[in-house]
């Protein structure tokens, strides 16, 4: 699990990207398929080693510094933003790593609460910092799993592996098809000169720690158990046909979304590999409708945003991305129409909601890395 040692350094800069999920929403913790990609925006940490055993995290978005004492084992209990790096530090402490003190200055160009995995970016960036300071490294999957555990234990969000894997394994010019059961990850070429991906922030800040996310996960587990399966990934067409009547209406809707979304996800990969953008766009539309009607994790603003966007010439498809309850939508558009689409969506969404939506186009980017100095 631990890779060959590299030389520990005293000052360096780490960048970890955010991510968008192209399709495969709320399938990761059901052992299903997802297709995220790392984006060009993310979290950057400038690091300097200290003489003491304190980790001092400073964020441009927060007043003061979060001070973590590395002489003692870190435990859950923080309620501020520093619970994310604290959880990662605790993970390496459990492995027996002796982490030196350091100053970490954090900057980010991801909208907080926008569903673009700012938390996973901070976690994986922190992991990369620790490994640079200690002169050794975990393999990327072990690093992602450590960060996932940090989010479970220190932030109280029972997330699947998608976000941390997308940040750790991101590859420029590619999306990632992740099988969350086998943990197999395949890079899939995405984009090019003919299409663009537009990310639009609904302006509604989402929070996955408020109970709704955990509730959806529990509903899926209940549905799987009622179907006699360990997870919804194990539910075959024959099992569904024979046993779905045993589910409550709520369980049937939740499980119905997950099962159909897995199929859509594999079909989406086939479509983008063939550069069949209209087919990919239709699958995105179907995904959003299912998340809205069956899984009930959209909101009025996201629905309005998608309705406005899909009406624009040059748009193949639009859907919410991330856990939901706010955050961002993504639109697959022809590259030539991207500027016009962005302008029209900004205007019409402002008129409909009064929200001045932030938006940007992005390409698939590389994963977490140390920047050259």
Q: Which residues are catalytic?
A: 163
The secondary element (H helix, E strand) that includes residue 315 is strand 315-321
**Sign, CA torsion 289/292/296/298:** positive
Output the six-digit token pair for 74. Answer: 């870190």
Spatial CB neighbours of 326, under 8 Å, sequence gap ≥ 6: 113, 115, 202, 204, 205, 206, 299, 301, 302
Q: Which residue has the tokens 């994963």?
A: 367
How far are the Cα atoms of 48, 66, 102, 117 from residue 121, in angstroms, in the given order? 19, 18, 19, 6
Say how far apart CA 137 and CA 323 lie, in whole Å: 30
Strands 195-201, 65-69: parallel, antiparallel or unpaired by DSSP?
unpaired
CA separation for the pair 262, 319 (Å, rounded) = 16
Q: Which residues of 7-41 are buried (b: 16+ CB within 10 A; e: fewer)?
A: eeeeebbbbbbbbbbbbbbbbbbbbbbbbbbbbeb
Cβ within 8 Å of residue 344, ≥6 positions away: 308, 312
């Amino acid at each position: 699990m631990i890779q060959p040692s590299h030389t520990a350094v005293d000052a360096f800069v780490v960048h970890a990207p955010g991510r968008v999920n192209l399709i495969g929403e709320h399938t990761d913790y059901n052992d299903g398929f997802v297709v995220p990609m790392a984006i060009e925006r993310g979290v950057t940490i400038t690091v300097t080693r200290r003489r003491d055993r304190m980790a001092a995290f400073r964020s441009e978005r927060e007043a003061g510094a979060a001070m973590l004492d590395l002489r003692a084992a870190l435990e859950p209990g923080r309620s501020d933003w520093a619970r994310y790096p604290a959880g990662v530090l605790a993970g390496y402490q459990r492995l027996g790593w002796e982490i030196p003190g350091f100053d970490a200055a954090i900057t980010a160009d991801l909208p907080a609460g926008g569903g673009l995995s700012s938390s996973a970016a901070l976690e994986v960036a922190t992991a990369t910092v620790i490994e640079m300071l200690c002169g050794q490294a975990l393999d990327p999957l072990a690093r992602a799993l450590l960060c996932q555990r940090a989010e479970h234990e220190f932030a109280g969000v029972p997330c699947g592996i998608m976000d941390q894997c997308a940040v750790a394994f991101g590859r420029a010019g590619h999306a990632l098809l992740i099988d969350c059961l086998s943990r197999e990850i395949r890079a899939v070429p995405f984009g090019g000169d003919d299409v663009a991906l537009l990310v639009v922030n609904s302006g509604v800040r989402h929070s996955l720690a408020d109970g709704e996310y955990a509730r959806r996960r529990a509903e899926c587990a209940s549905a799987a158990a009622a179907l006699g399966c360990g997870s919804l990934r194990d539910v075959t067409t024959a099992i569904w046909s024979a046993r779905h009547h045993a589910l409550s209406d709520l369980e049937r809707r939740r499980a119905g979304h997950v099962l159909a979304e897995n199929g859509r996800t594999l079909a989406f990969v086939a479509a983008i590999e063939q550069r069949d953008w209209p087919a990919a766009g239709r699958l995105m539309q179907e995904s959003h409708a299912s998340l809205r009607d069956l899984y009930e994790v959209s909101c009025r603003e996201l629905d309005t945003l998608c309705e406005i966007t899909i009406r624009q010439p040059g748009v193949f498809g639009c859907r919410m991305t991330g856990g939901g309850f706010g955050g961002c939508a993504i639109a697959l558009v022809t590259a030539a129409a991207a500027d016009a689409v962005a302008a029209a969506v900004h205007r019409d969404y402002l008129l409909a909601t009064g929200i001045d939506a932030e938006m940007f186009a992005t390409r698939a980017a590389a994963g977490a890395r140390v920047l050259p100095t």
